[in-house]
Amino acid sequence: MLSSNEEFTKVYRGLYITTDGDQDGAILNIDYSHAATTMVMYMHKDTVVYDYEFIMDYNSNAHFNEFKHDYEGTASSEYFDILNDSSKAAEKYFLQAGGGYMLNISMPTLNDVNDLLGVLPINKAELIMPVSSNYTDGFEPGEYFIMWRVNNYGRDTSITGYNYPNYGGTYDSYRNEYRFNITEHIQEYLSGAVGTPIPDVKLEINKPGTSPNRVILNGNKADTSNGVKALKLRLYYSTLNE
């Protein structure tokens, strides 16, 4: 009856793997694309033993994770500060993979650059995002961020220049920050290029469906006393001589 993978899926729609209890907690990651990943069913009839190896190909088998977060009693007190007080939303930004939270960054005053200077060549545009010094509670920040922009149809799409070598987005443990080079994205917006209706961007931690990482960033209105750095967009531009 279950002579092939196709016949098996007609009877069994899938497998649900979960934990038994929530005492200490752990994260188990299964790499479906790895050649060593397999699932074998062993059977016997009388004294003869049979085995059947299931296809675990990443591209041909649907799989998903379900995360349920309970922040009560955790060390993420910063999260509650942000969640319960909207006035602090610009002081700190909370990102979490594993079905957690993305970050939306709007740039409502970017048009002032055009109003003040006119359409000028943007030599470099850096989005600098310092990590809060209070993040060290056992949770590692994401290895890198994924950035999206919104196109004319309101859909998330890749930002221009994301595949360039100097694009950035990787966590810098020495500076304790993330940096993105979004020069072309900003230049396209300021010049009114088609497909760049707004300059706003969205960020999420890499592997958002499987990673347990989370990070707290200093916002653009973070208290910069005692050497604390705030999130900023730094523009380098050229002026034109008459």
Instruction: Note the pLDDT tens digit of each residue in 220-238.
Output: 888 888 888 999 999 988 7
Please give the pLDDT value at position 188: 87
The contacts of residue 154 (CB under 8 Å, 6+ apart) are none
Q: How many CA atoms lie within 13 A of 32 on its CB side?
A: 13
Please give the pLDDT value at position 152: 81
What is the distance between the alpha carbons of residues 179 and 130, in angstroms, rounded to a whole number? 9
User: How many angstroms separate the Cα of 166 from the Cα of each of 88, 125, 184?
Assistant: 32, 12, 12
The domain ranges of the chain are 5-54, 77-237
Question: Which of 203-219 are b and which e, b meaning 16 or more Cβ less than 10 Å from the residue's Cβ?
Answer: bbbbbbeebbbbbbbbb
Alpha helices in the chain, H assignment, sequence order: 5-11, 77-84, 111-117, 183-190
What is the distance between the alpha carbons of residues 32 and 39, in angstroms, rounded to a whole number? 11
Instruction: Note the pLDDT tens digit of each residue in 8-50.
Output: 778 877 777 777 766 666 666 677 777 787 888 888 888 899 8
Q: Kindly give the parts of the chain with pLDDT less than 50.
A: none
**This prediction's pTM:** 0.74
Residue 116 corresponds to which tokens in the numbers above? 């003040």
The torsion of the CA quartet 46, 51, 52, 57, rounded to 10 degrees, works out to: 160
Please give the pLDDT value at position 198: 86
